[in-house]
């Protein structure tokens, strides 16, 4: 392998909304390299449907958006982080429009505001049901016009570069701060690991839906950022809180396809196989209760009836309105022979969004100096035990922007120890002829996670998952150490790491709260009120008030 090295002021890992927002902001100050593991648009962002939650209607207020977010978060949201995203929402939406995003408007030219679960007002700014695609298009266009930004497609980050990699490294006390100076990156087409050096690094690698068998996420979502940061020695947090979206199309053989919550916001009604509108039995907000409640209700209906799916019914709504508000969903279903204006849509829940992630503070700094995290990979404290719909794009925008402000200052005082950073070594590794031995491990992890660490958990299920995933992970790690790396092997290694962290966090939280439901502890426990679950490679796992996990970030 060659020792190609690149150097810039700001390295961005990931080209979704968080990474691109950050890049556009810091490019005013220095050179930016964005590495992204597939084609540049391929990201969770690109598939977002419903929209961006922001206070826009004069009848709405920051206080109401804050209250709705806190209510969904079941006692674990960090109020200062929530306030930050809510109050910055309108400014960030305006900036998106300045960058060329075209949102849907009403006939009188105002932004059209949709509604989703858990919101007590219409505040979802959207571009029909293809919001993410429109945002990604506009951001990539702006990036293309910026001379300071260079994108490297099909480049996959392997590991973050820290003291651990330095030649002549000295033994350091465990508590001393670690620094990040870049990443080793697999150029997938050239089959070569390159060294990317930088004064600051933004992790914007998105989520980890593919830890599970059924997910709304595209294939990029394999938890790489959480796994890399954890291995590098960053704190990660609240990984027990995986959000399952209640409504993905149930169509055996077809790729997973989301039916936006905005459809329920528009009047869609969930019915069981007997045709009963069952949500009234579960929550006063019925179909617009928060996602954890709706997903669990569907799970209960499926277990009770033995049916394969429930149905989302929009046949009582004006067909033309349905088609004009949800053109993408309408067309996609029609391709599969389903006219949603005439037939109810078969739906099931699927893994959708990771509420936890790499722990950051209000400046988007992780516990590793020079390493920032924003977007789905980050645990900012905004979402608590359950994310409110459409708060994710908003969080990525706001924290991408905050990270940029901070990184511009931080990078001025950084010296990258470039002469001490070695090239990636392939010594002692062989080509992956034995790949077949571990290739099936991906499916095994996904099935174990779906069956044992899903919407409803128990101590026994979690114990089983822990034992089995640990065995599989050991096999993968052993294979990784001896083998020339490939994209598939790296993803598998990251999936097994994140699955283990999720199981550990789930076992540690001995209560049910928000998205984490354990039948052995079916109620929230007041002792865990406001307590997050933190995991560190060297310091282990703890459940603590966030104030306990602080680091010197000057
Ligand atoms: P992403 O957009 O996922 O981008 C991650 C980037 O990192 C990608 O470019 C990926 O290729 C790259 N990457 C990953 N690993 C590596 C690596 N090792 N090396 C290099 N590059 C890497 N949220 C809302 O608020 N509103 C919605 O309406 C909404 N709808 C959604 C619909 C769907 C179907 C899905 C899946 C999600 C939806 N979400 C929605 C959630 C939201 O889209 C995501 O949380 C958000 O887009 C995440 O943005 P991001 O920039 O953090 O990550
Ligand atoms: C959706 O459109 O239902 C997804 C919204 C979200 O994940 O916030």
Q: What is the pLDDT of residue 173?
A: 61
> Which tokens sit at 185?
């990156």
Residue whose pair of structure tokens reads 């931080």 in the numeric block: 410
Closest CA to 357 of 191, 468, 484, 229: 229
68 CB under 6 A from ligand 2? no
Q: Point out the catalytic residue in the list 123, 133, 291, 513.
A: 291
pLDDT in tens, 110-123: 999 999 999 999 99
Q: What is the mean pLDDT of residues 60-76?
A: 97
Closest CA to 49 of 232, 260, 249: 260
Convert 456-473 to b/e letters by CB count within 10 Å (16 or more is b). ebeeebbebbbebbeebb
| Cα 20 to middle of ligand 1, angstroms | 11
393 CB under 6 A from ligand 1? yes
Q: Are 136 and 17 in contact (CB under 8 A)?
A: yes
Report which DSSP code applies to 434.
Answer: T
d(CA 140, CA 367): 30
392 CB under 6 A from ligand 1? yes
49 CB under 6 A from ligand 2? yes
50 CB under 6 A from ligand 2? yes
The preferred substitution site among 50, 118, 119, 347 for testing ligand 2, maximizing ligand atoms within 8 Å of CB, is 50
389 CB under 6 A from ligand 2? yes
| Nearest CA, atom 1, ligand 2 | 260
pLDDT in tens, 331-356: 999 999 999 999 999 999 999 999 99
Task: Please spell the DSSP secondary structure of 226-281, one letter per residue.
Answer: HHHHHHHT--EE-TT-EEEEEEEE--TTSPP-B--HHHHHTT-EEE-TT---GGGG
State whether CATH 3.30.460.10 applies to domain 5-241+355-420. no
| Cα 349 to middle of ligand 2, angstroms | 13
Q: What is the pLDDT of residue 2?
A: 44
Q: What is the mean pLDDT of residues 398-416?
A: 95
Strand 236-237 relative to strand 532-536, pairing: antiparallel
* pTM as predicted: 0.97
| Cα 299 to middle of ligand 2, angstroms | 19
Ligand 1 atom, smallest distance to 17 CA = 51
d(CA 366, CA 37): 22
At residue 1, does pLDDT exceed 50?
no
253 Rama sector, left if φ>0, alpha if ψ -120 to 50, beta otherwise: left
d(CA 423, CA 83): 43
17 CB under 6 A from ligand 1? yes
390 CB under 6 A from ligand 2? yes
Q: What is the pLDDT of residue 285?
A: 94
Q: What is the pLDDT of residue 170?
A: 63
418 φ/ψ angles, rounded to the nearest 5 degrees? -60, -35
Convert 50-89 to b/e letters by CB count within 10 Å (16 or more is b). bbbbbbbeeebeeebbbebbbbbbbbbbbeebbbbbbebb
Ligand lying closest to the C-alpha of residue 205: 1
Ligand lying closest to the C-alpha of residue 11: 1
| Nearest CA, atom 36, ligand 1 | 217
Report which DSSP code applies to 413.
Answer: G
Instruction: Give the mean pLDDT of the chain.
Output: 95
217 CB under 6 A from ligand 1? yes
Q: What is the mean pLDDT of residues 61-77?
A: 97
Ligand 2 atom, smallest distance to 390 CA = 8
The preferred substitution site among 206, 353, 391, 498 for testing ligand 1, maximizing ligand atoms within 8 Å of CB, is 206
| Cα 388 to middle of ligand 2, angstroms | 9
Closest CA to 479 of 536, 519, 430: 430
pLDDT in tens, 442-466: 999 999 999 999 999 999 999 999 9
310 CB under 6 A from ligand 2? no
> Which tokens sit at 226?
């959480």
224 CB under 6 A from ligand 1? yes
At residue 550, does pLDDT exceed 90?
no
Q: What is the pLDDT of residue 175?
A: 63
Higher-pLDDT residue of 273, 432 = 273
How far is the CA of 351 from the CAs of 243, 279, 328, in angstroms? 6, 20, 21
Task: Please spell the DSSP secondary structure of 40-102, one letter per residue.
Answer: TT-SSGGG--S-EE---STT--HHHHHHHHHHHTTT---HHHHHHHHHHHHHHHHHHHHTT--
The preferred substitution site among 6, 11, 14 for testing ligand 1, maximizing ligand atoms within 8 Å of CB, is 14
| Cα 399 to middle of ligand 2, angstroms | 19
| Cα 520 to middle of ligand 1, angstroms | 33
Q: What is the mean pLDDT of residues 427-455?
A: 86
Q: Are 544 and 531 in contact (CB under 8 A)?
A: yes
> How many residues does the structure list for the chain?
554
Q: What is the pLDDT of residue 491?
A: 97
| Nearest CA, atom 8, ligand 2 | 390
d(CA 422, CA 171): 18
| Cα 360 to middle of ligand 2, angstroms | 23
| Mutual angle of helices 79-98 and 391-410, in 10-degree steps | 90
The residues spanned by each domain of the chain are 5-241+355-420, 247-350, 435-535
Burial class (CB in 10 A: 0-12, 13-18, 19+), 342: exposed
Enter the CATH code of domain 247-350. 3.90.700.10
Torsion of CA 480, 483, 486, 490, to 10 degrees: 10
Closest CA to 472 of 438, 517, 511, 429: 438
272 CB under 6 A from ligand 2? no
**What contacts 499, CB < 8 A, 6 or more positions away?**
211, 445, 448, 449, 453, 465, 469, 473
Q: Are 34 and 152 in contact (CB under 8 A)?
A: yes
| Cα 50 to middle of ligand 2, angstroms | 5
d(CA 490, CA 373): 20
d(CA 71, CA 78): 12
| Cα 230 to middle of ligand 2, angstroms | 28
Ligand lying closest to the C-alpha of residue 34: 1
Higher-pLDDT residue of 168, 494 = 494
355 CB under 6 A from ligand 1? no
| 275-282 long-range contacts, CB within 8 A, separation 24+ | 278/310
Q: Distance between alpha carbon 416 and the CA centroid of its chain, in Å?
A: 30
Q: What is the mean pLDDT of residues 499-510?
A: 98
Enter the CATH code of domain 435-535. 1.20.58.100
Q: What is the mean pLDDT of residues 46-67?
A: 98
At residue 250, does pLDDT exceed 90?
yes
Catalytic annotation present for 365:
no
Alpha carbons within 13 angstroms on the beta-carbon side of residue 242 total: 31
């Amino acid at each position: 392998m060659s020792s190609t090295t690149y150097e810039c002021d700001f390295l961005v890992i990931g080209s979704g909304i968080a990474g691109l927002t950050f890049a556009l902001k810091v490019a005013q100050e220095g050179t930016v390299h964005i590495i992204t593991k597939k084609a540049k648009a391929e990201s969770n962002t690109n598939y977002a449907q419903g929209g961006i939650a922001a206070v826009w209607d004069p009848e709405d207020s920051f206080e109401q958006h804050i209250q709705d977010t806190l209510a969904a978060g079941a006692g674990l949201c960090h109020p200062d982080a929530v306030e930050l995203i809510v109050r910055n929402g309108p400014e960030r939406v305006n900036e998106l429009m300045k960058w060329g995003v075209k949102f849907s408007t009403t006939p009188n030219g105002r932004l059209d505001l949709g509604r989703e679960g858990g919101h007590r007002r219409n505040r979802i700014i959207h571009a029909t049901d293809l919001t993410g695609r429109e945002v990604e298009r506009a951001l990539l266009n702006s990036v293309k016009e910026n001379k300071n930004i260079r994108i490297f497609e099909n480049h996959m980050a392997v590991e973050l570069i820290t003291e651990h990699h330095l030649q002549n490294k000295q033994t350091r006390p465990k508590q001393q701060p670690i620094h990040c100076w870049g990443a080793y990156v697999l150029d997938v087409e050239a089959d070569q690991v390159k060294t990317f050096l930088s004064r600051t690094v933004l992790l914007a690698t998105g989520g980890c839906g593919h830890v599970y068998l059924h997910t709304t996420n595209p294939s990029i979502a394999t938890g790489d950022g959480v796994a890399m940061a954890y291995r590098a020695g960053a704190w990660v947090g609240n990984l027990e809180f995986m959000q399952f979206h209640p409504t993905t199309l149930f169509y055996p053989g077809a790729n997973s396809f989301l039916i936006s919550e905005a459809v329920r916001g528009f009047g869609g009604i969930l019915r069981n196989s007997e045709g009963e509108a069952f949500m009234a039995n579960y929550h006063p907000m019925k179909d617009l209760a928060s996602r954890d409640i709706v997903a669990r209700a569907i799970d209960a209906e499926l277990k009770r009836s033995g049916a394969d799916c429930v149905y989302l019914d929009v046949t009582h709504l004006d067909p033309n309105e349905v088609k004009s508000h949800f053109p993408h969903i309408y067309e996609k279903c029609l391709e599969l022979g389903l006219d949603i204006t005439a037939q109810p849509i078969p739906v099931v829940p699927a893994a959708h969004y990771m509420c936890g992630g790499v722990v950051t503070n209000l400046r988007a700094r992780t516990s590793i100096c020079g390493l920032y995290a924003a977007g789905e990979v980050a645990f900012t404290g905004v979402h608590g035990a359950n994310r409110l719909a459409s708060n994710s794009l908003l969080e990525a925008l706001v924290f991408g922007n905050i990270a940029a402000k901070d990184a511009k200052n931080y990078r001025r005082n950084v010296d990258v120890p470039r002469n001490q950073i070695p090239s990636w070594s392939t010594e002692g590794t062989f080509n992956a002829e034995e790949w077949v031995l571990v290739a099936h491990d991906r499916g095994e992890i996904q099935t174990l996670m779906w069956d044992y660490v899903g919407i409803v958990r128990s101590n026994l299920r979690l114990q089983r998952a822990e034992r089995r995933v640990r065995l599989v992970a050991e096999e993968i790690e052993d294979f990784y150490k001896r083998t020339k790396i490939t994209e598939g092997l790296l993803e598998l290694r990251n999936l097994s790491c994140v699955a283990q962290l999720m199981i550990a966090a789930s076992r540690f939280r001995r209560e049910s709260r928000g998205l984490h439901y354990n039948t052995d502890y079916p109620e929230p426990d007041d002792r865990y009120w406001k307590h997050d679950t933190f995991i560190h490679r060297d310091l282990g796992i703890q459940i603590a008030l966030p104030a306990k996990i602080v680091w010197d970030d000057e």
